[in-house]
A and B are shown apart, each in its own frame.
Chain A
Amino acid sequence: MRLLTHNMLSCNIKGVTKGFPLSIEVQRLDTKDADFNPDFLRNIFPKLEWKAFHDAAVSIGLNDIPEQVDPTMLEDHEFLQKFHHALLEVHLEEGALICPETGRRFPVTKGVPNMLLHEDEV
């Protein structure tokens, strides 16, 4: 699971009003090369919840993502490289995603989050 995916995930357990962002419990990370595409990064930038992305990056040990950003930074190649790496190349292989409101733990196994809810959670 990439951090880009993490930025889209929300816990939808019944009654949860702030199921986003999920916190990340890391057991194993992996890094896989991805094609560097600045246009894609610029397109995705406004859709991201930057604070959630930044906090997620920090929580998995990526400390070179700035907390504050503005669109002018998208012209900065060095920033884009870091952004690209954190967003698309680092994968959570084993671990869990934790609902910020309920503490419910969604396991991540072999890179796949299991977001299925139990029957008493829907």
Chain B
Amino acid sequence: MDDVSSSTGETGGFTKPRPGVEQKPTAHLFVANCGPAVGLSFDVIKKSFSSFGPVAAVHPAGDSGTRVVVSFEKVEDAVAAKNAWNGHKCDALQGRIMFMQFSVFQPPSLVEDHHPVMTSSAECGIPGLQLYPDFVSEDEEKRLLAAVDQLPWQVLAKRRVQHFGYEFLYKSRNVDLSQRLGVLPPFVDAVVERLSALPELTSSEERSLPLDQLTVNEYPRGIGLSPHIDTHSAFEGSIMSLSLAGPCAMEFRRYMNASKEESGNLTEDDDRGSDNVPGKSQMERRALLLPARSLVVLSDEARYVWHHYIPHHKIDYVNGEIIERGSRRVSFTFRKVRHGPCHCKFVQDCDSQVSGIPSSPFLSTAESEECLNSDELGGDAGLDISDESSKVNYQNRGKRTSRSESRRSFSTDQTIGDVGDAQETRELQQKNLNEQSFRHFSHPTPDIEKQYVHKVYDAIAPHFSSTRFAKWPKVAAFLDSLAPGSIIADSGCGNGKYLGLNPKCYFIGCDISPPLVAICSQRGHEALVADALHLPYRSNFYDAAISIAVLHHLSSDQRRIRALEELVRVVRPGGKVLITVWAVEQEDSRLVKKWTPLEGKYTEEWVADEDVKSHLKKSPSSSSLNIIQEGDGCEATICSDDVSTLDIVERDEASRVDSSTSLSSIEEQQSIQTAGKVQDPQQEYFVPWHLPYHRAEVNGASVAAVASGFARKDDKKGAVVYDRYYHVFAEGELERLTSKVKGAVIVDQFYDKSNWCVILQKA
């Protein structure tokens, strides 16, 4: 036991005046946001404060490690230190912003502050609370710990977590039913089986089965859990938590006389009243030791009414003995997510039945915005809305009279005292938001894509489709590598030539072009009309996703990244995503000569500029089309659309074209393309599509398209010519974009047949 923990719950006998009472300067400064837990040793603190005058001692204030009492020998030195550093960034102490108040010495109270910790649930007498000691064997404990230690942890402010089944979202304190992560991991199968047979689960009126959510929490020594009730609407039935690796005392609190009528808001008044303050509200407290390998089950009143709380202690006192918490405690909390509202009889604590009830009585809206508070049994603490900070809130309201109360309030700290932690929390919250798989992307589709991608494919769909049948071997190999039964999303599926390629898998295609999707559907494929930037799928579902020749039709980095994020969002953790795009480095330089470079980085205005457009259309490079005859009588342009065309070209033109696509030819082509601006290779193009006059679709939309100037006739070639917008990718560009997508890593990347390709795996 070290110095800090030996004074658990104590503050070295110093206290801080109640708020509202004018502070009389003393030699003792209560300093928040300062201490060993934030990387400042007592020696360093003493040294720094000594710049104002001799410091007699530095004491820990409570066992949080983030608050100290600095005792100067002279009052005026304490005053000087407070004036200089209170609330200001302090360079001498790592730039921290500390908050200070004068403190006075008080002899320790004779009143017992803590109350007895029970060792059986029967002693606690809380309906629905059940403790099962030795629920798992030591071997089982080892196996469970080893299993989770092999998996990646999500690092929160003071602890680490892993979610299975559904992710618990700390911001909403709920789960998102559309974002199922999958089934519970096999290493808990045996435990789940035993849990499922517990009388609390089998005999309850409320369904707790099947258990489908598991949160694993790892608490370092000294980290506890802020008081809360798990959100009623999030989970139904009983909640079960295994304690592994170390014990802890869990405290249960029931707030009496809640008076919504007075405040209209539970968070504001009812539960902030301190215990022992007679009248308005009172709190019942019971504490239960959760030994390692025990299971605690919360049902009924214990689950819906009593707040559970783990003090932030490194030790617990049980029957006069000191129980060490151990270097860590790992809890496995099993729950069943609720579909629909809660109908429990404990209306006043039920967020389904009373609006505006957050899960913790201590969180105001503002605080919950600022802080990631969790909601879990064995859940969080750590997250900076500690019991301490909340205590101050009711301390601010309550009238404290007894010594024990003032001493307890002293050990605590105001919320602002944790500025450093709060900042850390915000960062983590941001991280957490980024990790949440779904974000909105509120940018309208640029006109260039609507005009020169979507409308073109709508107009040429049947002809385009008739030229799109060759399957690219690399895509086929990727699809073949997936496990039987895999579910695959093809985002931007075109005519669906890859749908169903692996007959043991289930494919769903989507494309923004309704005529192309109609072709997929007519061929018996499952397909729908959707935007690759707003996939209408729930998250973490698909085993794999493919995006073949799609990203190069998007007109900004932001949009290309968004499309990648959506692909990653919809696949499950571990799922793979194959992305292919056209390369700047085309193997066949003749193709590129048929494209119309877009000068500079166009804008929507640029594209709308008629002069420039007509200039582009007169560009000599766009009039040298070569049409080849295919065996089946269909016509296809040499212009490749996706890689399959190159296959055709290679196959059909082998005798005519030197198909040796050496690097030198690529280099030569590039040097032509980028003459005079080597640093900035041309990447923006219009690539023509020639729709032969005899195609039926020429009689429809194309007539209007030509009339409006959207397409043009090329009598020499006997075709209506459409321009399709392309952003072709330079070497390394796709890799750079994917590196901006969180939660996925590149597992393979290659160049093949004039395409850059990346395979991502979701973490």
Query: Interface SS of chain B: helix, strand, loop or mixed?
Result: loop
Q: Tell whether, in the assembled complex, residue B506 and residue A49 are in contact, meaning their CB atoms are under 8 Å apart.
A: no
Q: What are 18 of the A-B contact pairs (CB < 8 Å)?
A: A1-B526, A5-B528, A8-B487, A10-B537, A12-B536, A17-B172, A17-B176, A18-B176, A32-B524, A46-B182, A106-B536, A110-B518, A110-B521, A115-B510, A115-B530, A116-B530, A116-B531, A117-B534
Q: Does A76 contact B (CB under 8 A)?
A: no
Using known A-B contacts A10-B536, A115-B536, determine if residue A5 contacts B508 with beta carbons closer than 8 Å. yes
Residue of chain A at shortest CB distance from B169 = A17
Using known A-B contacts A46-B183, A51-B339, A119-B444, determine if residue A8 contacts B538 with beta carbons closer than 8 Å. yes
Question: CA–CA, A18 to B183, complex, Å?
Answer: 20
Q: Tell whether, in the assembled complex, residue A9 and residue B504 are in contact, meaning their CB atoms are under 8 Å apart.
A: no
- A41-79 vs B: 1/0 string, CB under 8 Å? 011101101010000000000000000001000000000
Residue of chain B at shortest CB distance from A20 = B178
Which residues 98-142 in B have Cβ within 8 Å of A in the complex? Answer: none
- B464-507 vs A: 1/0 string, CB under 8 Å? 00000000000000000001111100000000000000001010
Which residues 426-453 in B have Cβ within 8 Å of A in the complex? Answer: 438, 440-445
Q: Which residues in A have their C-beta under 8 angstroms from that of B440?
A: 12, 14-15, 122
Q: Does B328 contact A (CB under 8 A)?
A: no
- New contact pairs (19) apart from A5-B526, A115-B510, CB-CB < 8 Å: A9-B528, A9-B536, A12-B534, A14-B442, A15-B440, A17-B176, A20-B178, A40-B484, A43-B484, A47-B180, A49-B177, A49-B180, A112-B517, A112-B529, A115-B530, A115-B536, A116-B530, A119-B444, A122-B440
Q: Does B535 contact A (CB under 8 A)?
A: yes
Q: Does B420 contact A (CB under 8 A)?
A: no
B residues neighboring A (CB under 8 Å): 172, 176-178, 180, 182-183, 210, 339, 438, 440-445, 483-487, 504, 506, 508, 510, 512, 514, 517-518, 521, 524, 526-531, 534-538, 541-542
**Contacting residue for B529 out of A18, A32, A116, CB 8 A:** A116
Query: Interface SS of chain A: helix, strand, loop or mixed?
Result: loop
Q: Which residues in A have their C-beta under 8 angstroms from that of B531?
A: 116-117
Using known A-B contacts A11-B536, A40-B485, A47-B541, determine if residue A1 contacts B441 with beta carbons closer than 8 Å. no
> Number of A residues contacting the other chain (C-beta, 8 Å)?
37
**Contacting residue for B487 out of A10, A14, A47, A106, CB 8 A:** A47
A residues neighboring B (CB under 8 Å): 1-2, 4-5, 8-12, 14-15, 17-20, 32, 39-40, 42-44, 46-47, 49, 51, 70, 106, 110-117, 119, 122
CB distance from A114 to the nearest CB of B (A): 4
Residue of chain B at shortest CB distance from A119 = B444
Question: CA–CA, A12 to B508, complex, Å?
Answer: 17
Q: Which residues in A have their C-beta under 8 angstroms from that of B506?
A: 4, 40, 44
Q: Which residues in A have their C-beta under 8 angstroms from that of B339?
A: 51
Question: CA–CA, A15 to B438, complex, Å?
Answer: 11
Using known A-B contacts A8-B538, A40-B504, determine if residue A18 contacts B521 with beta carbons closer than 8 Å. no
CB distance from B105 to the nearest CB of A (A): 52
Closest 9 CB pairs of A and B: A43-B485, A20-B178, A115-B536, A10-B538, A115-B530, A114-B529, A46-B183, A10-B178, A113-B528
Q: Which residues in B have their C-beta under 8 angstroms from that of A47?
A: 180, 182, 487, 541
Using known A-B contacts A5-B528, A12-B536, determine if residue A44 contacts B438 with beta carbons closer than 8 Å. no
Q: Which residues in B have their C-beta under 8 angstroms from that of A8?
A: 487, 508, 537-538, 541-542
Q: Tell whether, in the assembled complex, residue B521 and residue A20 are in contact, meaning their CB atoms are under 8 Å apart.
A: no
Q: Which residues in B have their C-beta under 8 angstroms from that of A19?
A: 178
Question: CA–CA, A93 to B320, complex, Å?
Answer: 72
CB distance from B518 to the nearest CB of A (A): 7
Q: Which residues in B have their C-beta under 8 angstroms from that of A11?
A: 536
Question: CA–CA, A32 to B183, complex, Å?
Answer: 30
CB distance from A55 to the nearest CB of B (A): 9
Question: CA–CA, A18 to B178, complex, Å?
Answer: 7
Q: Tell whether, in the assembled complex, residue A44 and residue B537 are in contact, meaning their CB atoms are under 8 Å apart.
A: no
Q: Which residues in A have their C-beta under 8 angstroms from that of B538?
A: 8-10, 20
Q: Tell whether, in the assembled complex, residue B541 and residue A112 are in contact, meaning their CB atoms are under 8 Å apart.
A: no
Q: Which of A10, A39, A46 is most buried by chain B, counting CB atoms within 10 A of its CB?
A: A10
Q: Which residues in B have their C-beta under 8 angstroms from that of A9?
A: 528, 536-538
Question: CA–CA, A12 to B106, complex, Å?
Answer: 59
CB distance from A65 to the nearest CB of B (A): 16
CB distance from A8 to the nearest CB of B (A): 5
Q: Tell whether, in the assembled complex, residue B177 and residue A122 are in contact, meaning their CB atoms are under 8 Å apart.
A: no
Question: CA–CA, A119 to B442, complex, Å?
Answer: 8
Residue of chain B at shortest CB distance from A32 = B524
Q: Tell whether, in the assembled complex, residue B485 and residue A44 are in contact, meaning their CB atoms are under 8 Å apart.
A: yes
Question: CA–CA, A46 to B339, complex, Å?
Answer: 17
Q: Which residues in A have their C-beta under 8 angstroms from that of B486?
A: 43
Question: CA–CA, A51 to B689, complex, Å?
Answer: 47
Q: Which residues in B have their C-beta under 8 angstroms from that of A2?
A: 526
Q: Tell whether, in the assembled complex, residue B541 and residue A20 are in contact, meaning their CB atoms are under 8 Å apart.
A: no
Q: Which residues in A have their C-beta under 8 angstroms from that of B542?
A: 8
Question: CA–CA, A15 to B442, complex, Å?
Answer: 11
Q: Tell whether, in the assembled complex, residue B485 and residue A115 are in contact, meaning their CB atoms are under 8 Å apart.
A: no
Q: Which residues in A have their C-beta under 8 angstroms from that of B524?
A: 32
Q: Tell whether, in the assembled complex, residue B534 and residue A1 are in contact, meaning their CB atoms are under 8 Å apart.
A: no
CB distance from B249 to the nearest CB of A (A): 36
Q: Tell whether, in the assembled complex, residue A112 and residue B521 are in contact, meaning their CB atoms are under 8 Å apart.
A: yes
Q: Tell whether, in the assembled complex, residue B485 and residue A39 are in contact, meaning their CB atoms are under 8 Å apart.
A: yes
CB distance from B162 to the nearest CB of A (A): 19
Q: Which residues in B have their C-beta under 8 angstroms from that of A106?
A: 536
Residue of chain A at shortest CB distance from B441 = A122
Q: Which residues in B have their C-beta under 8 angstroms from that of A10?
A: 178, 536-538
Residue of chain A at shortest CB distance from B483 = A43
Q: Which residues in B have their C-beta under 8 angstroms from that of A111?
A: 521
Q: Which residues in B have their C-beta under 8 angstroms from that of A14?
A: 440, 442
Q: Tell whether, in the assembled complex, residue B528 and residue A115 are in contact, meaning their CB atoms are under 8 Å apart.
A: yes
Q: Which residues in B have their C-beta under 8 angstroms from that of A44?
A: 485, 487, 506
CB distance from A41 to the nearest CB of B (A): 9
